[in-house]
Amino acid sequence: MQPLTQFDFHHRIAEVAGIALVAFTSTHCGSCRHLRRVLRDLGPQRPGWQLFEVDAQHEAGLTREFEVFHLPTLFLFRDGVFHCELQAEARPSVIIAAAESALRQPPMEAP
| Per-residue pLDDT reduced to its tens digit, 91-104 | 999 999 999 999 99
Q: For the whole prediction, is pTM greater than 0.85?
A: yes
- Looking at residue 110, its pLDDT comes to 87
DSSP category for residue 48: T
Average pLDDT estimate for 52-69: 95
Domains and CATH numbers, the chain: 2-103 (3.40.30.10)
The answer for 109, left when phi > 0, alpha when psi is -120 to 50, beta otherwise, is beta
- Output the CA torsion sign for 70, 28, 63, 53: negative
pLDDT band for 38, please (50, 70, 90 cuts).
Answer: very high
